[in-house]
C-alpha cells in the first residue's frame, strides 16, 4: 500500500502523542533534575510529546474554577475544546481565528481589529494563551470587552514564563505578563472592580515547563504550590458591567 507524504506525516504526528509512547519517553528520558545541566530542553514542544505541558494543568484548573461562567453564547479561539469540556448550558459555540483556512472558525479576524464581530454578542469569551501573540494588546482587550454582552465574562490566561513559539514565534511572539501588567491592562478596559486576577505556579513548575517536562512527571502536591513570585501563567476573569 502506497501512502502519500502527507499521510505519513499525519500518522507520524498521531503516533508522536500516543499515551504509550509518551510514557515510554518519560521512562527512557526520566526528568531527574540533576539532568537539567543541559543547554537544550527535554522537549521542544512544551512537553506535548511526554504528556501534558505544565501550563495546561494550570489553564484547566482556572477554567474548572469558573466553568459556571461558560454558558449561553460562547466564543473561543481556534476551536471549541474548552467550551465543550467545561461549558454548562452552552447554547451557541463560536470560534475566532486569524487563519482563514481553519474550518472551525466562524469569525476570521485579528482580535486587535475585530470590527466585523458585532458588539454585545457573547455571554462568555474563552481567551487562553493568545494575547502574547497580539502586538496591540490594548486593542485586543478592548474588542473582547466590546463583543461581550453586559454581564458577560472574559476568561483569559496568559503566559508569565514560556519558551518562544517555535518557528514563527521569533517574529510573532511579543509578550509575557505579570499580575501587575494584567491588572493595569484589564482595569483600563473593564474597570478595576470588575476583574479578578491570580497567578498559578511556582519555581519548580516554571523550571519543569521551560525544560519541556510534562505535568504528569511532577506530583500534584508540588504543582498545587502557588508562589506569586514565580508564576507560570496568569488567569484573569473580567466581567462587562451592565452600564457598559
- Looking up residue 165, the CATH number of its domain turns out to be 3.40.50.150
| Residue 24, domain member (yes or no) | no
- C-beta separation of 165 from 133 below 8 A: yes
C-alpha cell at 130: 493568545
Q: In this predicted structure, what is the pLDDT of residue 180?
A: 98
Going residue by residue through the chain (244 aa), what tens digit of pLDDT does each one get? Answer: 455 555 545 545 656 678 888 888 788 877 666 666 788 898 899 999 999 999 999 999 999 999 999 999 999 999 999 999 999 999 999 999 999 999 999 999 999 999 999 999 999 999 999 999 999 999 999 999 999 999 999 999 999 999 999 988 999 999 999 999 999 999 999 999 999 999 999 999 999 999 999 999 999 999 999 999 999 999 999 999 986 5
| Residue 5, domain member (yes or no) | no
Phi/psi at 172 (nearest 5 deg)? Answer: -125, 0
| Residue 61, domain member (yes or no) | yes
In three-state form (DSSP H/G/I as H, E/B as E, the rest C), the secondary structure along the chain is CCCCHHHHHHHHHHHHCCHHHHHHHHHHCCCCHHHHCCCCCCCCCCCCCCCCEHHHHHHHHHHHHCHHHCCEEEEEECCCHHHHHHCCCEEEEEEEECCCCCCCCCEECCHHHCCCCCCCCEEEEEEECCHHHCCCHHHHHHHHHHHEEEEEEEEEEEECCCCCCCCCHHHHCCCCCCHHHHHHHHHHHHCHHHEEEEEECCHHHHHHHHHCCEHHHCCHHHHCCCCCCCCCEEEEEEECCCCC
Q: From CA 27, how far away is CA 221, in angstroms rounded?
A: 21
| Residue 208, domain member (yes or no) | yes
First to last CA, the chain: 61
Q: How many domains does the chain have?
A: 1
| Residue 214, domain member (yes or no) | yes
- Exposed, middle or buried, 90 (CB in 10 Å: 0-12/13-18/19+)? middle
The residue count of the chain comes to 244
Q: From CA 88, how far away is CA 92, in angstroms rounded?
A: 11
Q: In this predicted structure, what is the pLDDT of residue 51?
A: 94
C-alpha cell at 128: 487562553
Q: In this predicted structure, what is the pLDDT of residue 21?
A: 82
- C-beta separation of 120 from 73 below 8 A: no
| Residue 26, domain member (yes or no) | no
- C-beta separation of 48 from 25 below 8 A: no
| Residue 59, domain member (yes or no) | yes
| Residue 10, domain member (yes or no) | no
Q: Domain residues for 144?
A: 53-239
Angle at Cα 70 formed by Cα 241 and Cα 136, nearest 5°?
60
Amino acid at each position: 500500500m502506497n501512502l502519500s507524504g502527507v499521510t505519513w506525516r499525519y500518522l507520524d504526528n498521531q503516533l508522536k502523542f500516543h499515551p504509550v509512547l509518551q510514557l515510554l519517553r518519560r521512562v527512557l528520558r526520566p526528568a531527574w533534575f540533576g539532568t537539567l545541566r543541559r543547554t537544550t530542553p527535554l522537549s521542544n514542544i512544551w512537553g506535548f510529546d511526554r504528556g501534558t505541558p505544565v501550563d495546561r494543568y494550570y489553564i484547566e484548573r482556572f477554567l474548572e474554577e469558573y466553568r459556571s461562567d461558560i454558558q449561553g453564547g460562547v466564543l473561543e479561539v481556534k476551536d471549541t475544546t474548552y467550551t465543550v469540556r467545561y461549558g454548562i448550558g452552552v447554547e451557541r459555540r463560536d470560534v475566532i481565528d486569524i487563519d482563514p483556512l481553519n474550518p472551525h472558525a466562524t469569525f476570521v479576524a485579528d482580535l486587535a481589529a475585530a470590527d466585523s464581530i458585532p458588539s454585545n454578542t457573547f455571554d462568555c469569551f474563552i481567551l487562553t494563551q493568545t494575547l502574547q501573540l497580539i502586538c496591540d494588546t490594548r486593542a485586543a482587550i478592548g474588542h473582547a470587552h466590546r463583543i461581550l454582552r453586559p454581564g458577560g465574562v472574559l476568561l483569559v490566561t496568559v503566559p508569565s514564563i514560556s519558551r518562544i513559539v517555535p518557528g514563527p514565534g521569533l517574529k510573532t511572539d511579543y509578550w509575557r505578563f505579570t499580575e501587575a501588567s494584567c491588572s493595569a491592562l484589564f482595569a483600563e478596559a473593564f474597570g478595576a472592580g470588575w476583574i479578578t486576577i491570580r497567578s498559578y505556579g511556582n519555581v519548580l513548575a516554571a523550571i519543569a515547563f521551560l525544560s519541556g517536562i510534562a505535568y504528569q512527571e511532577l506530583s500534584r502536591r508540588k504543582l498545587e504550590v502557588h508562589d506569586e513570585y514565580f508564576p507560570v501563567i496568569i488567569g484573569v476573569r473580567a466581567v462587562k458591567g451592565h452600564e457598559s
